[in-house]
Structures are given as C-alpha cells and as structure tokens.
Amino acid sequence: MHNELPVTVLKNITLQFALEGEFIAGELFGSGHINDTYRLQFQTRAGIRRYILQRINTNIFKQPEKLMENILRITRYQLKKMKERGEEDIERKYLRFSPAKNGEYFFTDRQGNYWRVCQFIERTHTCDIVQSAEQAFLTAASFARFQKSLVDLPGRRLHETIPDFHNTDRRFSAFATAVKNDTAQRARACLREIEFAFARKAVAPVLVDLMAKKAIPERITHNDAKLNNIMIDDATNKAVCVVDLDTVMPGSSLYDFGDMARSASCTAAEDEKDLKKVEINTAMFRALASGYLSEAKDFLNSEEIGQLIFSAKLITFEQGIRFLTDYLNGDVYYKIKYPEHNIVRARNQFKLVESIEQQEKTLNTMVKKIATC
Ligand code: GN1
Ligand code: MG
C-alpha cells in the first residue's frame, strides 16, 4: 500500500541534492509496483521545474549503488550517441539524474533509505492501457531502438540488479515452494490458478535452456518493457523516452518482447477483473510486432524471431506466477491496493496466456509474414 510521506520530509530529502530553485510541492506519482515515486515542483527564476524523486526499494534491489552505476553508464552512453548523431531535443530523450551533495547520484537517509532524483520529462505522459495501434507500434519500436542503442555499450558486463530476474524456471520453483509452504493460508482459495500453472510447468525452462545453449544470445535488455515505461509526447503522441532503468541488465531481447506483448496488445489493465475484456487484440499485436521488427530485425537472429510468440506467452505466464506466488506468500513483494489485488492480477495474466494459446498459430503466421517483408 502507498504511504505518502509528508511534504516537509520530501523537502528535507531534496535539500540533499544539488537542485535549482525552491521546493514548492511534492506528490506521489505513477503506477509502479516496487519503488516509491514522487513528482516535485521547484520554483526557479525561469519558472516551475519538475523532478522525479524515488526511494529505491532495497528489499528488492539489494545493491542500489551497482544499480545506479548501471543506469549512469547507460544514460551517459545514450547521451553520447545522441550528440554524435546530432539529434534534437536531446534533454527529453534520456533520464538525467541529479547528483546529491555528497557527490553520489543517490542519498542515504538515517533510516537507510536510498533516494535519487532525476528530471521530469516535460510535456509527456504515460499510459497504462494501450490507446491505438499506432501507439503499440511506436512503443515497440522505441524499446527495440533502446535495445539496439546498447548493443555496443563499451566496458564490462552490466551488473545483474536482480539475479535470475526472468529465469522462468526459477520463478516456477519459487511458486511451487510458495504452494507447499502456504504461508498465508491462501492456497485453498486459488486451487484453479495453481492447477493452471502446474499444467504449464513444461514451458518454464524453454528460454533459459535456449540461452544456456547460446541459441539465443545474451544482450543488454530493459527487462521491464511495459507500455507504461515509455514517456509519450503530449502533443504528438510519439514515444519520447524509455524510463524505469532499474532492471536494465544482461538478458534476452525476448523478455522485453514478452513484456511489450502483455502490456501493449491487450486493451484491458493488468488488474482488470472482468476477464472477458482480457485478451490479445490482434490489430494491436500486429502493430506491436511490426514496430518491434522494424528496428530489431537488424540485430535479432532467426531463433529469436522464431520465439517471439512463445516469449509473449511465457513472460505473461511468468508474470501470472509471480503475482500468484506473492499472493500465496502474503503480499510481500508487489504493492497492493486491496487484499485480493495479487490474485486478481494473476487471474488476469493467466486469462491472457489462454488468449495467446488460442491464437498462437495465427500470431506465429502473422509474425513470420512481418519478419520476411
Ligand atoms: C514491477 O514497479 P514496476 O511496475 O515498474 C516489476 C516488474 C513487473 C511489474 C508488473 C523489479 O514493475 O517485473 O513486470 O511490476 N519490477 C520488479 O507490472 O519486480
Ligand atoms: Mg519497473
């Protein structure tokens, strides 16, 4: 649940950062499930300036220093490339973090909370539900460009900010353990969902195995490639910037495609209770796959292209078991707004898995066509 901090506390935290102007307001912002995010307003001589202040959830991101090191490497590289290309409006196209007065890019308070600040990207918004096929196309093209822009990131391998984050096989084991322990005594209330998951156990190791065999290459991927992690221009509706870089680390391009598919080709929210509304919309999906391949065709291998639909099913399934696991464990991971929230989310994702299963052949034919034209 959200615990909004008093404005005076927010103001004190911001005093630790080198920010221009006077703090005038701060409020909870966005729909993230993990970190606490606030949008701040500062009065400067040139007018109002807005920032994003975040408390990194260190129960989940256990090494925030390494996480910030990754993010700074990535954003600096993005900046360098954009400058070389002579792009316009660069300041809105990457996340600009502000240093704290201690010289680091985060500040640790007395309770051990990690705080960081970046510029709010003005004249943009996010969407939790896909609005149009054009938006699906642009979102996917934008994540593909993001992956492409990091293909040649120099230097050593990025830190794994959460090890085995998209290891679906491990996620499945964690789920099986949660069922066995039944800590919150909720298993009896979700027998159908548990059965649904066990019936699909065989899909869990498929991508992990392909990666171990190197049929699918390790790349730098976003790992949370949801529609609402794209800032969209208010005036043009074009994708301006990919945000939420905490899980950018070594992974598979397919993890990102899977997250895009589950978030931008279904026209219902991730926690929609009316399951009739939860299905893959083929028009959105076609646009999404076209957008992704319009950029990613250049660097994906044929195995990756061949597994796109499977990854959509797998990552949706993984998300379902993650929500279900959290429900069984007593809601220890995701923020919830009401007690049944996690089981509602799990049912929703499982319904989407069924929808993909029902259309798998059609979707595969569609992707093949797009990939060859
Ligand atoms: C979490 O906080 P948010 O919404 O950016 C989660 C993602 C899930 C997502 C479910 C670190 O992301 O993996 O896909 O919720 N992030 C982490 O929508 O677990
Ligand atoms: Mg995230």
Q: Ligand 1: which residue has its CA nearest to atom 17?
A: 34
d(CA 74, CA 66): 12
Query: Cα dist. 204→49, 152, 255, 316 in Å?
Result: 46, 30, 13, 11
256 Cβ closer than 6 Å to some ligand 1 atom? no
30: pLDDT confidence band, cut at 50, 70 and 90? very high
1: pLDDT confidence band, cut at 50, 70 and 90? very low
Question: Residue 88: what pLDDT?
Answer: 96
Question: Residue 333: what pLDDT?
Answer: 98
Average pLDDT over residues 27-37: 95
Residue 37's identity, in one-letter code, is T
The CA 46 to ligand 1 mean position distance, Å, reads 36
Instruction: Work out the percent of the chain whose per-residue pLDDT is above 70.
Output: 99
Supply the mean pLDDT for the chain: 97
138 Cβ closer than 6 Å to some ligand 1 atom? no
Give the number of C-alpha atoms closer than 13 A to the C-alpha of residue 102, restricted to the C-beta side: 12
281 Cβ closer than 6 Å to some ligand 1 atom? no
The CA 175 to ligand 1 mean position distance, Å, reads 17
Question: Residue 373: what pLDDT?
Answer: 82
Q: SS3 for 28?
A: strand
Question: Residue 103: what pLDDT?
Answer: 94
The CA 58 to ligand 1 mean position distance, Å, reads 14
44 Cβ contact list (under 8 Å, min separation 6): 20, 21, 22
The CA 59 to ligand 2 mean position distance, Å, reads 14
Q: Ligand 1: which residue has its CA nearest to atom 13?
A: 224
Residues paired with 48 in a beta bridge:
43
The CA 338 to ligand 2 mean position distance, Å, reads 20
Quickly count: other Cβ atoms within 10 Å of residue 110's Cβ.
5
The CA 188 to ligand 2 mean position distance, Å, reads 30
Question: Residue 224: what pLDDT?
Answer: 98
Q: Ligand 1: which residue has its CA nearest to atom 8?
A: 224
Question: 250-283 pLDDT, tens per residue?
Answer: 999 999 999 999 999 999 999 999 999 999 999 9
d(CA 251, CA 164): 9
228 Cβ closer than 6 Å to some ligand 1 atom? no
pTM of the model: 0.97
State whether CATH 1.10.287.130 applies to domain 133-372: no
2: pLDDT confidence band, cut at 50, 70 and 90? low
CATH of 7-122, one of 3.30.200.20, 1.10.533.10, 1.10.287.1770, 3.30.360.10: 3.30.200.20
247 Cβ closer than 6 Å to some ligand 1 atom? yes
d(CA 117, CA 54): 6
Question: 286-330 pLDDT, tens per residue?
Answer: 999 999 999 999 999 999 999 999 999 999 999 999 999 999 999
pLDDT for residue 178 is more than 60: yes
244 Cβ closer than 6 Å to some ligand 1 atom? yes
The CA 248 to ligand 1 mean position distance, Å, reads 12
Question: Helix 191-199 and helix 341-372: axis angle, to 10°?
Answer: 30
Q: Ligand 1: which residue has its CA nearest to atom 15?
A: 33
The CA 1 to ligand 1 mean position distance, Å, reads 15
pLDDT for residue 174 is more than 60: yes
Nearest partner of 42 among 103, 122, 113, judged by Cα: 122
33 Cβ closer than 6 Å to some ligand 1 atom? yes
Question: Residue 92: what pLDDT?
Answer: 97
**Domain limits, the chain:** 7-122, 133-372
Q: Ligand 1: which residue has its CA nearest to atom 12?
A: 33
For the CA of 58, the nearest ligand: 1
d(CA 97, CA 117): 6
3: pLDDT confidence band, cut at 50, 70 and 90? confident
Token readout for 24 is 């005038």
DSSP H/E element including 129: none
pLDDT for residue 116 is more than 90: yes
Question: 58-85 pLDDT, tens per residue?
Answer: 999 999 999 999 999 999 999 999 999 9
User: In degrees, to the nearest 5, what angle opens at C-alpha 274 toward C-alphas 346 and 351?
Assistant: 40
32 Cβ closer than 6 Å to some ligand 1 atom? yes
Average pLDDT over residues 12-41: 96
